[in-house]
Structure 1
Amino acid sequence: MHDANFAADPQAVYEQLREQGPAGPVELAPGVDATLVVGYETALRVLQNPSRFVRDSRHWRALNEGRIAPDSPAVPMLGYRPNCLFTDGATHLRLRKAVTDSLAKLNITRIRRDVEPIADYLIDQFSERGRADLLAEYAKLLPLLLFNKLFGCPAGIGDTLTASMSAIFDGKDPVRANAELDACLMQLIALKRREPADDVTSWLIQHPVGLTDEELKHQLVMLMGAGVEPERNLIGNALLQLLSGANGGRGAGMMVEEAVDHVLWHQTPIANYAAHYPVQDVDFGNGVVAEAGSPVLISFAGANSDPALSEARRSGRGAHLAWGAGSHACPAKDPAHVIAVTAIEKILNALPDLVLGIPEEELQWRPGPFHRALVSLPVAYSPTPATRVAAALQSRGVVPQQGAPSGHPQHTPQPSSEGGRRKGFWSSFLDIFRV
């Protein structure tokens, strides 16, 4: 599942596994074996049976016995962290309650209000060129900047957070990026303990379960990782669906919400994840046995394509597994849906003649066992003036900070006065909007 053939046609692998039964053996990375569940009903049974299938990857026998190298590319995604994804029982309930209660304070109106100026800002960076990569220049950056806003990041911390998260996802010097991410999140936590505000970080700190700083850091990392990568894939894949000549895209009258739902069913942004560890050997049938302490992953994409769900897929009714299920189901599916729909509506309204910049068959998918993600999304359109920020400022009655550009943002981060350090996208955004 880690080569280019899988990236090009993952459904072929799911169908091959399905011929064996509801689950089958796979290799996630060189030397990293797992069982992948592709049957819908079997996936539900695993997801909804935490006493038999635990999420704490400290049960991973092959890793514990040294049969998997600590620097294996599978370890960062599957290795234990003390957050909601990798805990069970009372610990999981305590951490998840803090997260779900804090996220529940976000509402659709606030999310749209926060997404729209960020979208305006990013579109203004490339709208005059007539060509862009909507993945690198829009779908990737928008969730990062939005999370800075939702977490209440000031300029310097937000720039570091954005740069380090980008480096982690792109595989660029991950050790240094992880260290910088840890440091900037601890700075953010210390700041919000001193000066709480109306943001997710402050709400987590104030929650009655009393999270420690270390627990807070790990929940924030989990929220960033679980939010940014899937969100950019959801936005990018849905934009491709709308621009595609196949499957009734925008030219055939497909609505944005329909495109997002189509992606959740058919191009699931996080395609294979939710690693579980059986507490005893499990026989999935047809000779497929998952040994105790071995990773059992859920193929959300494979389960969604189960022939048993053909009627649900056609009608648009029924429950896909893109958001997971059971006690570890995604706690932010409604905000994630609103973010994607708002971001897509903004770009389509701003650039109404948007088309793919290369033939669809030349688009490439990123290798990797966990995601369904494009390498890039080149587009072309009629150049338009970069005036969206100015219009947004005027309509909102927002006054730029003194010395900041009045609605025509710089196209590259500019040097700051702090020792010549260059500003990032978040600092540049804050220079324009008082947020």
Structure 2
Amino acid sequence: MNTPTDNAPEAPRGCPVAHHGAEPVRLYGPEAATDPAAIHERLRKEHGPVAPVLLEGDVPAWLVLGYRDNRRVLDNPRQFTRDARTWRDWREGRVEDSSPLIPMVGWRPDCVSQDGEPHRRLRGAVTDGLQEAAVRGIRRHATHFAHKQIDAFADAGRADLVTDYAEYLPMLVLTRVLGLPEAEGRALVESCAQVLKGGEDALTHDARIHRILGELVARKRSEPGGDLTTALLEHHAALDEDEVVSHLRLVLIAGHTTTSNLLARVLELVLTDTTRLSGLISGQLNISAVVEEVMWNSPPLAVMPGRFATSDLELGGHRVQEGDLLVLGLAAGNVDPEIRPDAGASVQGNQSHLAFSAGPHECPGQSIGLAVIEIAVDVLLHRLPGLRLAVPPEELTSTASTWESRLDRLPVEFGV
């Protein structure tokens, strides 16, 4: 494995981490794609709970690794704003609007990009809309699409539960929530994945998402229905069209990618542990306990963008400057030895993980995602007798981007 200086180029002029004599490490590239956790731990040893890093395009940032430091950033929007218009490297032209980071880090007219009263106004509309969607039958939609996905491979006796199940099921449920046709939902899976993956195609796929959702909003203005799009259009907060489209995009990307990733990880844990599998099938083990364990050890979003320092301050022993970008190491924070000296100890009943973020911007749709996962696992286990992993557990691999680590495949066999 490379040492921190092996893949750390000289920091450019104006780079906030260069001001402190620190050597930044890339959070993207071949090593980051295969073993991001090793990079996080190496950074923790070298720099402590906060470390200088480079994001795609060698854009400088601080990676927050410590649990308490993550909570400080997440809980204090006055010190660490979500408003990317304060990002110094972007303001001063070192980050172009064409950067693949912009779809994840840049400012948008949605509640994630705002603080204070603007955030409360927009988040209230989203929360109300999601609550209405949940009342209208999230579990019914999840059950319907779970059976429909399983029907496609039930007679084969084998399947890949990533590509045949977890990758599409949450999106299909979201099509019902948003009011999208099912076919458009399937097409959007690739675009959501590319936005999180980054690279030169990220902006193209982000534009595709905006186009499809813009057309949806136009349809719902003339043909309202019982969906989130209509709820946002009719909400008393009076969102304009850009705000509606931006929030649909937010729900689509965040809701699909995190739920599909979490579902795959839950299934991986269940199928690599026969005790858990038999416990779930017999009813002696509750699926929520398994989900909780995964949220601690393999959160669906490993690194969350982004916060921006509103003034010069100290964080984790480093001097952070006004306008610096910080990204939140949710996975690293969850295994911080300061709070989990024994990483193998049970976390059952402990919901203080960072998987859903924290503070004013904590995920408002987490109950919907958890409902989809519970239904997905329950239907799968009861539809497929003798479900078992088709390869040794050590053959399962993952591929990471800056923001997440996704299971590549989960091949299984079962009776027919």
Normalised by the length of structure 2, the TM-score is: 0.84
Q: 1:59 to 1:162 in 2, by over 3 A?
A: farther
Distance in 2 (CA, whole Å) between partners of 1:233 and 1:69 is: 30
Q: Is 1:33 equivalent to 2:57 in the alignment? A: no
Name the residue aligned to 1:332. Answer: 365
Distance in 1 (CA, whole Å) between partners of 2:338 and 2:316 is: 18
Name the residue aligned to 1:181. Answer: 209
CA shift, 1:255, in A, is 4.1
Q: For residue 236 of structure 2, what is the amino acid of its counterpart?
A: P
- Asked if structure 2 preserves the Cα contact closer than 8 Å seen for 1:192 and 1:201, the reply is yes
Name the residue aligned to 1:273. Answer: 304
Name the residue aligned to 1:343. Answer: 376
Q: 1:174 to 1:43 in 2, by over 3 A?
A: closer
- Asked if structure 2 preserves the Cα contact closer than 8 Å seen for 1:60 and 1:293, the reply is yes
CA shift, 1:108, in A, is 6.7
Distance in 2 (CA, whole Å) between partners of 1:266 and 1:223 is: 24
Q: Is 1:240 equivalent to 2:272 in the alignment? A: no
Distance in 2 (CA, whole Å) between partners of 1:107 and 1:146 is: 11
- Asked if structure 1 preserves the Cα contact closer than 8 Å seen for 2:158 and 2:412, the reply is yes
Name the residue aligned to 1:80. Answer: 107
CA shift, 1:146, in A, is 0.6
Distance in 2 (CA, whole Å) between partners of 1:198 and 1:132 is: 34
Q: 1:315 to 1:182 in 2, by over 3 A?
A: closer
Deviations 1:56-114 (A, max 9, x none): 11222222333234444333211221111112222211111100111122447821111
CA shift, 1:223, in A, is 0.6
- Asked if structure 1 preserves the Cα contact closer than 8 Å seen for 2:167 and 2:189, the reply is no
Name the residue aligned to 2:17. Answer: none
**Deviation larger for 249-258 or 39-48:** 249-258
CA shift, 1:303, in A, is 1.2
Distance in 2 (CA, whole Å) between partners of 1:222 and 1:371 is: 16
Q: Is 1:13 equivalent to 2:42 in the alignment? A: no
Choose the corresponding residue for 2:139, options 84, 109, 112: 112
Deviations 1:210-237 (A, max 9, x none): 1111111011001101100000001000
Residues matched between the structures, number: 378
**Deviation larger for 263-272 or 314-323:** 314-323
- Asked if structure 1 preserves the Cα contact closer than 8 Å seen for 2:36 and 2:400, the reply is no
Distance in 2 (CA, whole Å) between partners of 1:314 and 1:307 is: 14
Q: 1:362 to 1:28 in 2, by over 3 A?
A: farther
Secondary structure, counterpart of 2:391 in structure 1? coil
- Asked if structure 2 preserves the Cα contact closer than 8 Å seen for 1:56 and 1:87, the reply is yes
Distance in 1 (CA, whole Å) between partners of 2:393 and 2:90 is: 40
- Asked if structure 1 preserves the Cα contact closer than 8 Å seen for 2:100 and 2:202, the reply is no
Name the residue aligned to 1:391. Answer: none
**Deviation larger for 345-354 or 319-328:** 345-354
Q: For residue 160 of structure 1, what is the amino acid of its counterpart?
A: E
Structure 2, unaligned stretches of length 5 or more?
Answer: 1-26
Distance in 1 (CA, whole Å) between partners of 2:88 and 2:97 is: 13
- Asked if structure 1 preserves the Cα contact closer than 8 Å seen for 2:79 and 2:311, the reply is yes
Q: How does 1:392-411 map to 2 (within 5 A)?
A: none
- Asked if structure 2 preserves the Cα contact closer than 8 Å seen for 1:4 and 1:367, the reply is no
CA shift, 1:174, in A, is 4.6
- Asked if structure 2 preserves the Cα contact closer than 8 Å seen for 1:134 and 1:236, the reply is yes
Q: 1:175 to 1:333 in 2, by over 3 A?
A: closer
- Asked if structure 2 preserves the Cα contact closer than 8 Å seen for 1:111 and 1:338, the reply is yes
Distance in 1 (CA, whole Å) between partners of 2:40 and 2:201 is: 32
Q: For residue 42 of structure 1, what is the amino acid of its counterpart?
A: D
Choose the corresponding residue for 2:178, options 139, 145, 151: 151
Q: Is 1:128 equivalent to 2:155 in the alignment? A: yes
Q: For residue 384 of structure 2, what is the amino acid of its counterpart?
A: L
Secondary structure, counterpart of 2:129 in structure 1? helix
Q: Is 1:305 equivalent to 2:335 in the alignment? A: yes
Query: Percentage identity across aligned positions?
Result: 34
**Deviation larger for 64-73 or 88-97:** 64-73
CA shift, 1:55, in A, is 0.4
Q: For residue 36 of structure 2, what is the amino acid of its counterpart?
A: P
CA shift, 1:327, in A, is 0.6
Distance in 2 (CA, whole Å) between partners of 1:336 and 1:323 is: 11
CA shift, 1:162, in A, is 3.3
Distance in 2 (CA, whole Å) between partners of 1:105 and 1:94 is: 17
When the two chains are superposed, the root-mean-square deviation of aligned CA atoms in Å is 2.3
CA shift, 1:33, in A, is 1.9
Distance in 1 (CA, whole Å) between partners of 2:401 and 2:256 is: 17
- Asked if structure 2 preserves the Cα contact closer than 8 Å seen for 1:160 and 1:181, the reply is no
Name the residue aligned to 2:237. Answer: 209
Q: 1:43 to 1:283 in 2, by over 3 A?
A: same
CA shift, 1:164, in A, is 3.4
Q: How does 1:249-398 map to 2 (within 5 A)?
A: 249-251=276-278, 255-286=286-317, 288-310=318-340, 314-318=346-350, 319-382=352-415, 384=416
Distance in 2 (CA, whole Å) between partners of 1:218 and 1:58 is: 17
Normalised by the length of structure 1, the TM-score is: 0.81
Distance in 1 (CA, whole Å) between partners of 2:320 and 2:276 is: 41
Distance in 2 (CA, whole Å) between partners of 1:4 and 1:364 is: 14
Q: 1:377 to 1:35 in 2, by over 3 A?
A: same
- Asked if structure 2 preserves the Cα contact closer than 8 Å seen for 1:56 and 1:277, the reply is yes
Distance in 2 (CA, whole Å) between partners of 1:164 and 1:274 is: 22
